[in-house]
Structure 1
Amino acid sequence: MMHRRVMLNVTEDNKALVRRFIDAYNTRNLELFDELVAPGYLDHTHQQEGRESFKTLFELAFEGFPDWHEDITDMIAEGDKVWVCVKATGTHTGEWNLFGVSLPPTGKKVAMMMVFIWRIANGKLVEGWEVDSEVDFLKTIGVLEYTEKGEKIFPEG
């Protein structure tokens, strides 16, 4: 029984850490990254390593989408991992650097569902993965366009 209680505390602590992390970037308090993210953080989605590289992704995103915000819709913790689903919203009102290409502001509002999976060790995020609806997001701001065939398959709603 004691082992189960300890595991419940660990998973609840891990969920609390993820909530603090999401709140930190929602409030633009990136200084908290030093407390919440391990120095050698491994970002599998963007294929980079290091807390500073991870922080830079957020800084670039906030330049392009100053009002970017994520609301937690669901969270599951098991062992050393936390899965969190968020609804992200923002308006493309600033220059945004995407893979080395600067995109001028479009004024378009975007909304997307995202799932993050984080591994936590010693009270810090040490590893992460992201799954999102990036195609719709990029289409909304005009980076991607459907072909004629694509428009027939995916008509504007």
Structure 2
Amino acid sequence: MSAEENKELVKKFINAYNNRDIDLFDSLVAADYIDNTHGQKGIESFRQLFLDAFRAFPDWHENIEDIIAEGDRVWVRVKATGTHTGEWSLSGVALPPTGNRLEMMMVFIWRIADGRLAEGWEVDSDSDFLIKLGVMDYTEKGKEIFAENPGQR
């Protein structure tokens, strides 16, 4: 596939995700998909990750800000937003809903093989996400530093 075709595949995947069209995953994701970020293999565990996210953040949406493709790789930067209204499991610990609205920038890197997402990596602003879920907080010094810039919290 060309770089442009690979970008279109990623756009279709993000659109399917935003529209909660999990059935499209079968045509967009390889059966033996490797999720390097979450340490999972196979489309079923990948699909379950999204189903869990939909329950915890039913209004989660990812808007593509940038997309770059070269060879069999696609890099995409998204602005993600959602409200934590359902239980979310993090490393096996269930986190009750906070009602907090989250916004974060995320970068995904996908390897494309045979016209499907074959392998993926994710880089995001975990600290802000974890703070808004009530899992972690700034130190006293951090609160002092970032009090000047509430957008960082």
TM-score range, shorter chain: over 0.9
Is 1:45–2:37 an aligned residue pair? Answer: yes
Higher radius of gyration, 1 or 2: 1
Q: Distance in 2 between matches of 1:106 and 1:140?
A: 8
Q: Distance in 2 between matches of 1:21 and 1:139?
A: 28
Structure 1, unmatched stretches of 5+, are 1-8
TM-score under structure 1 normalisation? 0.91
Q: Distance in 2 between matches of 1:114 and 1:58?
A: 15
Quote how far apart the aligned CAs of 1:81 are: 0.3
Runs of 4+ in 1 over 2 A off after TM superposition: 152-156
Is 1:23–2:15 an aligned residue pair? Answer: yes
Structure 2 match to 1:74: 66
- Tell me the secondary structure at the aligned position of residue 35 of structure 1: helix
| Percent of aligned positions that are identical | 64
Is 1:151–2:135 an aligned residue pair? Answer: no
TM-score under structure 2 normalisation? 0.93
Quote how far apart the aligned CAs of 1:80 are: 0.4
Quote how far apart the aligned CAs of 1:98 are: 1.4
- Tell me the secondary structure at the aligned position of residue 83 of structure 1: strand
Superposition CA RMSD, Å: 1.1
Q: Distance in 1 between matches of 2:40 and 2:146?
A: 33
Quote how far apart the aligned CAs of 1:60 are: 0.8
- Number of residue-to-residue matches in the alignment: 149
